[in-house]
Amino acid sequence: MEQNDLIQKWLSDGLNEKEQELFDALPEAGLYKCVVEDAKAFRASDAIEVKSFEHFKDELKGRQKKSKLRWLQPALRLTGVFLLGIALFYSLFYNPLQQIEADFGEKISLYLPDQSQVTLNAGSEISFQKKNWKSKRVLNLSGEAFFDVMKGEAFTVKTALGEVRVLGTEFNIIQRALYFEVQCYEGQVQVVTPNEVLILTEGQGIRFYQGNKMKLSQADNSKPQWLDNRSSFSRIPLLEVFAEMERQYGIQIELIGVDEQTLFTGSFAHDKLEEALQAIAIPMNLKTEMINPKTVRVGPGEH
């Protein structure tokens, strides 16, 4: 007990001379002194390096640079929201025009979003808005197309020369330069031109040529012949007949010394040019000549 008190005092540097002698006389005084002395070997300043204020300031600067970039995060967030907004806007309101075009010598058949079927004849084009198609069935046509319309909302085909409105039916529309023709194969269609509104019922057809209206005879087919790769004409000027041939075969036809307005009734096939040319040339008494694979010259035949 005495000894412990002595040690305690010694640890607090509180020994007087006499007590110091007593302490030194302890058998383990040497070890005690060692233990206390050698504690210095564990000095923190030898083991770790306290960072200087300069170092601290550098570190802080590094942090602040990072923290300066903090504005970036909300900015990025805003950009994100903005982009999302644009995406939303486009998905809700942006309504790109679908455009489908049948090139020369080509026919395209497609289904509209409501399963109505459109068949485009060569050199024709339609465009429509895919979105909301079922509630707003409107399409633009340039050229010739056959429609098989599913029942539903009003179905409108707009062309440069007039509109055709139906509820569900089959009909064919031709709109070429000066020439607009609608043939109804099933149901009823309404034809709207700048001057008048007409209703066509099954089998009826109407043609406007250079402003002249002409009723077409009852169609004896359930669909236009061009769907079977055959162009059929009834009292059509030669100009239009050859124009159709150009579209079907993708060729150039030069008419030299031929009355373009002569009316033609008949048909030609879409698969053999030679026969097609003959189908027109023989009844009309014309002479045809292949100048090159892409060009045909048509002149008056010999009498």
| Site for another protein, rule CB under 8 A | 7-8, 11-12, 28, 30-51, 53, 55-56, 59-60, 63
- Cα angle 263-225-177, degrees, rounded to a multiple of 5: 50
Reduced to 3 states (helix: H, G, I; strand: E, B; else coil), residue 243 is: helix
Tokens of 166: 């139906």
DSSP 187: S
What is d(CA 100, CA 125) in angstroms, rounded to the nearest whole number? 6
Return the number of the residue (32 or 209) whose C-beta is nearest another protein.
Answer: 32
> How far apart are CB 96 and another protein at their closest, in Å?
51
Return the number of the residue (61 or 235) whose C-beta is nearest another protein.
Answer: 61
Return the number of the residue (12 or 135) whose C-beta is nearest another protein.
Answer: 12
> How far apart are CB 53 and another protein at their closest, in Å?
5
Contacts of 141 (CB under 8 A, 6+ apart): 124, 125, 126, 157, 158, 159, 173, 175
The neighbouring-strand residues paired with 208 are 180, 213
Q: Determine whether 40 is exposed, middle or buried from the number of CB atoms within 10 Å of its CB (0-12, 13-18, 19+).
A: exposed
Return the number of the residue (68 or 303) whose C-beta is nearest another protein.
Answer: 68
Return the number of the residue (18 or 43) whose C-beta is nearest another protein.
Answer: 43
Distances (CA, A) of 40 to 12, 33, 233: 16, 12, 116
> How far apart are CB 32 and another protein at their closest, in Å?
6
Tokens of 208: 């406007």
Return the number of the residue (51 or 235) whose C-beta is nearest another protein.
Answer: 51
Contacts of 121 (CB under 8 A, 6+ apart): 102, 107, 143, 144, 145, 146, 226, 247
> How far apart are CB 49 and another protein at their closest, in Å?
6
> How far apart are CB 39 and another protein at their closest, in Å?
4
- Cα angle 165-170-175, degrees, rounded to a multiple of 5: 60
> How far apart are CB 78 and another protein at their closest, in Å?
25
**How many of the other CB atoms lie within 10 Å of CB of 222?**
11
> How far apart are CB 83 and another protein at their closest, in Å?
32
Return the number of the residue (51 or 151) whose C-beta is nearest another protein.
Answer: 51
